[in-house]
Chains A and B, each alone.
Chain A
């Protein structure tokens, strides 16, 4: 009941933020909603206590000292306690205890409800952190339905999703504030985070644990779709890459297959099978480039491929000495990978 009446607070706070796609007050996921409710209750209780303590402090400062009662040194002889003081102290103790218990109980219930929503995931995704991009594998009991993608996730609304987190090199942290909390990706361990999205939309998350020179440019995008849209997306992503349709795209593919690109990247359905960098099979269907560093566009794609080191200095993708015609061909081909 307490929770219900305070439900308006998260909405208020949500209205306060100017964007919802990467905000702790985004309130788009069940976990986030539960967190915000807990936050509101804590705020309320602590505000009351804070105000009361400040009030007492001010009263104490402003009250003049009566003569004779000043400089009382404790002589060891007990004075009889002032009845009002005694009642006040007992009352204050009761208020504090009730307040703390309220916090503890709401915290317990929030934790429990978050754990319950995580208990029966219907979708499982394994996200592996690399310097400085995100690898994602959608797990499936049917091996031929497993999907390998990078940097952009699609999840269905209302469906409990468990994301298993691993790291290939250093500690990263998966932070998706609008939908869920934060969880570290620790090499040598498997951690996980649970999401139950409530609202469709596009949300941004990023790495929240310093992981090297380009930690600031390690973001990812999560699209929350309706269930039928999500299934369509999954099916479409399982398709191998479309064959190049124009001679320019074919030249671009040939360049990729015979040069440095194929050493690191994978394009399903072709001999290009590198597993070091992000999977490119449906690269053009993503909204961002280089893990959220640049928005996806033809110009940015040219920029990125021509000189990744000037966009994201220190990234593992090297600057490849390419002719301008090769660059155009490669971009033309990559654009077809929807």
Chain B
């Protein structure tokens, strides 16, 4: 009798406790994306972040760039059982930055140069290859790619996979059979232009931007028609207003960004043609207002003495109408940039509690070390808070929007300026953070590096670097070179922060199960508890990880986590390119910061896919 009672009691207790937490089952456990609107933390903008269908069709997961998968099967409690399901070798060993795409049972992988596109059939065991597409880009393009021959991803739209090649082409391929639909040449490697960014398809347009801020290239963002690949509009980021597509709808919030032809007036004569401002990073889109949001890259050359003036429209944030490309507003994050602080980082579209309702904002962990919360209707900066160690800037004046530079840390011709923090890759470079609408936190994988910098006159020869600077980087104060920060964008402070020995160059993934995934430069693929930052799982991959981890629902209903490990990019160039660390200025200074990396990892390009056991 007593045993029966105990058993019943036990059963009752376990049943009730089972109901308390989300129990992992084999069926679809999904946290719905539409969090209660009266939650007192930031939530993703609903139009830009629809309910999760288990696919991953664009690099940022959704137009709001949350990189959040609502799938909740894997949690901190059961992740101990997470195991490798299958692998795939991409046959390249350069830096792998792209996320795998998953669309209804097929996975697509785009590699760094030579930009091979693979399709894997997830419905069959071992995910065999369905087809492969080889675009054969020009080999010489490798000589004008500043920071690794990487590719940041493809995008799926209406039955097509669309991606860019290093030598400046945008290609659309049929997602079922891998046949080319259209191919458009946008960049010219003879001028030093390449394309490494992941395109975005919004409003029926394919949005593509160029790379080449270190090569004296004039930056732009172009829109191609999704069906035909023909150019619809192209907005430059320097030059007269008609080139920048600035017209009557342009209403910048701050006075410093208002005026006519500022794209020429804030440069010495003719220098804006070599000005830079390329768009090699992330674009977000708000389907409600049909506005895109993105940032522009650094002005050229790095030696700022050669380009007095504010250097518009580089290192700033644009909002444009996706249909015509007309600029709606612009905010220059870092006028007259002196540290190569490109502003191409991700803009997370969120709605934050404001007064009685919610305010539509952009959350931007900036390269220059400030976390920006901006009203995305007007471009007003609501807050700019430092999320790491910095001494190069003194602060951002919210009234004028202007950042102020520490004059002692300003590189000047004829002297070496030492101990500038953050270093040229900034507090965080291209690798995007993830936003969880469940916790309301932004998970930022970033770096902690400082640098010595000396500048000299740069010579412009088309097709060669236009830099004029020698840089040497090293770990910042604290003795750690990387960190993952869980940032509360309302309280403007870190909720938790964990330190990594090596700089973090991988993007983050946040899941509905309460996990944050990211990879380290020496190959550890790690999962943290999203609420506390505690390490709950890790796996050592064959090469350093700088690629976007994703999560998807497989054909069998399980939640899968996938990442491609292949060290390279700017941070991993010392391994990928076999550079010599005896010269601390190698790889634009990064080689000195990761001198120990060749002993810790080797080049690779392997896909790893994990899931819980059936």
Contacts and interface: CB of A to CB of B under 8 A. Distances in A.
A143 B458 contact: no
B274 A143 contact: no
A139 B305 CA distance: 11
A168 interface: yes
Interface in B128-186: none
Given A188-B415, A240-B270, A142 B460 contact: no
A333 B400 CA distance: 48
A216 B53 CA distance: 78
A318 B207 CA distance: 46
Contacts of B266: 143-144
B462 interface: yes
A144 B309 contact: yes
Interface in A251-279: 262-264, 266, 268-269, 271, 273-276
Given A139-B308, A143-B309, A188-B414, A240 B269 contact: yes
A274 B265 contact: no
A275 B269 contact: no
Contacts of A167: 414
Contacts of A143: 265-268, 307-310
Contacts of A128: 457
A166 B306 CA distance: 14
B216 to A, nearest CB: 8
Given A166-B413, A166-B414, A188-B415, A146 B460 contact: no
Interface in A113-159: 128, 139, 142-144, 146-148
A187 B415 CA distance: 9
B459 A144 contact: no
A150 to B, nearest CB: 13
Interface string B308-327: 11100000000000000000
Given A143-B308, A188-B415, A268-B269, A273 B274 contact: yes
A269 B271 CA distance: 9
A190 B414 contact: yes
Interface string B585-612: 0000000000000000000000000000
Interface residues of B, number: 24
Given A139-B308, A240-B270, A268-B270, A144 B265 contact: yes
A189 interface: yes
Interface of B: 216, 264-270, 274, 306-310, 413-415, 456-462
A248 interface: no
Contacts of B270: 240, 268-269
A103 interface: no
Given A139-B308, A240-B270, A273 B460 contact: yes
B175 to A, nearest CB: 41
The residue among A143, A190, A264, A274 with the most chain B CB atoms within 10 A of its own CB is A143
A26 B207 CA distance: 65
Nearest to B266: A143
B415 A144 contact: no
A111 B462 CA distance: 50
Given A146-B268, A188-B414, A263-B461, 9 more contacts: A142-B309, A144-B268, A147-B269, A188-B415, A190-B414, A269-B270, A273-B461, A274-B459, A275-B306
Contacts of A238: 269
B167 to A, nearest CB: 20
B460 A274 contact: yes
Contact of A148 (B264, B268, B415): B268
B607 to A, nearest CB: 43
A152 B458 CA distance: 22
Interface string A89-122: 0000000000000000000000000000000000
- Top 5 A-B pairs, shortest CB-CB distance: A143-B309, A273-B460, A146-B268, A268-B270, A188-B414
The residue among A144, A148, A264, A271 with the most chain B CB atoms within 10 A of its own CB is A144
8 contacts: A142-B265, A143-B307, A144-B267, A167-B414, A263-B459, A266-B460, A269-B270, A273-B274
The residue among A146, A189, A269 with the most chain B CB atoms within 10 A of its own CB is A146
Contacts of B310: 143
A91 B307 CA distance: 65
Nearest to B466: A273
Nearest to A276: B459
B380 to A, nearest CB: 26
B414 A144 contact: no
Contact of B458 (A139, A147, A271, A275): A275
Contacts of B308: 139, 143, 146
Contacts of A142: 265, 309
Nearest to A144: B265
Nearest to A167: B414
Interface in A187-203: 187-190
Contacts of A271: 462
Contact of A144 (B269, B274, B460): B269
A263 B460 CA distance: 8
B457 A275 contact: yes
B258 to A, nearest CB: 16
A123 to B, nearest CB: 16
Interface in A43-59: none
A223 B459 CA distance: 29
B329 to A, nearest CB: 23
Contacts of A240: 269-270
A144 B414 CA distance: 24
A273 B268 CA distance: 13
Given A240-B269, A268-B269, A269-B270, A144 B264 contact: yes
Contacts of A168: 456-457
A147 B269 CA distance: 8
Given A139-B308, A188-B414, A190-B414, A274 B461 contact: yes
A151 to B, nearest CB: 16
A126 B211 CA distance: 33
A273 B413 CA distance: 20
